[in-house]
Structure 1
């Protein structure tokens, strides 16, 4: 950790997955797994820190082993109460401003991450994220964006609800209670209104193969593919787009 007043990326990661166990540690590109690629990407955002937050389950020892070479701190907490895990991780490192990173999203766009950091740095919002056609990006299948939240807001969620759902899904309670929290949205609908069927979040074996296919082809040109580049590639490869649409139907959020 560099400075406690920096915005900190907390990467939510665990080996357990009902549909594709160990997905974030499987070789994805050039022998590296998704978790490694995310850490390398986030290191290109100035004025930020990185923490990996996993659970106490021994199966997640592999996550610690994976990130050792990056000298990134790993915090271990509850397996299912992810809200508490985030609160404890932030508290342990004196972090007040958090950007939550889901480790199954290899296509998080670097430019969008930098945009979010820039906005959050001078904002008094409890929560900031992206919205597509009125839907919070975290509830879509795109996998392009992350979300900002304050420790204070997470502590308030903990005080207000004991429901397991809201303790497993860290930020849902916040954006479902806009009358309680100060929320800001970045509308990106105009970027994607012609592409509702993109699925680049990795949840299943088919997702993994689709995402790896796109990533391998795009990273030969740009190490950190942009949303525009992804859209252009999928427009030229409609067979992949069709596979993604099928996965969305089978794995609705």
Structure 2
């Protein structure tokens, strides 16, 4: 299927019941919600995409559906804990050929990086079922892009069964290179900042960091890039320090005994601070 005929659906999983920072996606960033600011960035990609917010049927997530209405994007509501099902059902409902998984804790994601991963997919169209930039990751944490064809997602939906596969959507794909044609896009700089730079949100200090980055960059340049953020941190290293204690901390740390394709080098434990 040609690029122009491919229906690309970006599914943004979001819910209010975050265990570490409840309601984080609705925290304010320059007068709008964090989720609003993130979708604003997703809509800057050069490829034609449909953004869908995928939340749960839990009553708390009525707020997420209402926010989707404010933002002006559709909202799919499904399972609270089975994000794989949420991604599959949202992709199916909106007639996706490609589904892009981008979690709602990535409000600083660079649209150019999304385009870079999409460009790779289309330059190798028909060669891969799954293309990501985080397995292994090299970009600063919070630039997570995972692209899967609808047949790939459907096969995963039928076959995955472990709790971590259902909660995190794509581990079944990573763990089965025998079943899926997988490619990874690395950062063109040749650098690996995945464990040293944290642009994602899970803790209060992450919010403080993200809010400060927006205050510094957004007023002068709405579409500020990853390079702009890095230049800011170089100029004002105190901003980097706001959430530096959590750099490299991610969900992998709790599943190292279950994942064959992730090692201790890909995560850091909170106890090591």
**Same-fold call, TM > 0.5?**
yes
SS at match of 1:95: coil
* 1:126–1:249 distance in 2 versus 1, CA, 3 Å: closer
- The equivalences for 1:3-42 within 5 A come to 5-28=6-29, 30-42=30-42
Cα separation, 2, equivalents of 1:218 and 1:27: 16
> Unmatched 5+ residue regions in structure 2?
253-273
**Shift of residue 198 of structure 1?**
0.9
Distance 2:50 2:66 in 1: 19
Q: Partner residue of 1:129?
A: 132
State how many pairs are aligned: 246
Secondary structure at the aligned position of 2:185 is classed as strand
Compute the displacement of 1:158 (Å): 2.8
The Cα shift of 1:7 comes to: 0.8
Contact preservation (8 Å) 2:41, 2:111: yes
Q: Which runs of 5+ in 1 are unaligned?
A: none
* Counterparts of residues 1-253 of structure 1 (less than 5 Å): 5-28=6-29, 30-45=30-45, 46-121=47-122, 123-124=125-126, 125-131=128-134, 135-136=136-137, 142-188=141-187, 190=189, 192-193=191-192, 196-248=195-247, 253=252
Secondary structure of the residue aligned to 2:246 is: helix
Residue deviations 1:154-185, cap 9 Å, x none?
Answer: 22223333111100011122122223211111
Distance in 1 of aligned mates of 2:9 and 2:220: 29
CA distance, structure 2, for counterparts of residue 194 and residue 101 of structure 1: 19
Deviation at 1:145, TM superposition (A): 3.3
In structure 1, distance between residues paired with 2:193 and 2:19: 31
Q: Distance in 2 between matches of 1:64 and 1:194?
A: 34
Structure 2 Cα separation of the partners of residues 148 and 121 of structure 1: 11
Q: TM-score, normalised by structure 2?
A: 0.82
The 1:167–1:240 alpha-carbon spacing in structure 2 relative to 1, beyond 3 Å, is: same
How many angstroms does 1:207 deviate by?
Answer: 0.7
Once the two structures are overlaid, the 10-residue window that deviates more, 74-83 or 169-178, is 169-178
How far residue 4 of structure 1 moved from its aligned partner, in angstroms, is 8.5
1:189 shift after superposition: 6.4
Q: CA RMSD in A?
A: 2.4
- Contact kept, 8 Å, 2:7 with 2:95, in 1: the verdict is no
The structure with the greater share of residues assigned to strand is 1
How many Å apart are 1:249 and its aligned residue?
Answer: 6.3
Distance 1:194 1:83 in 2: 28
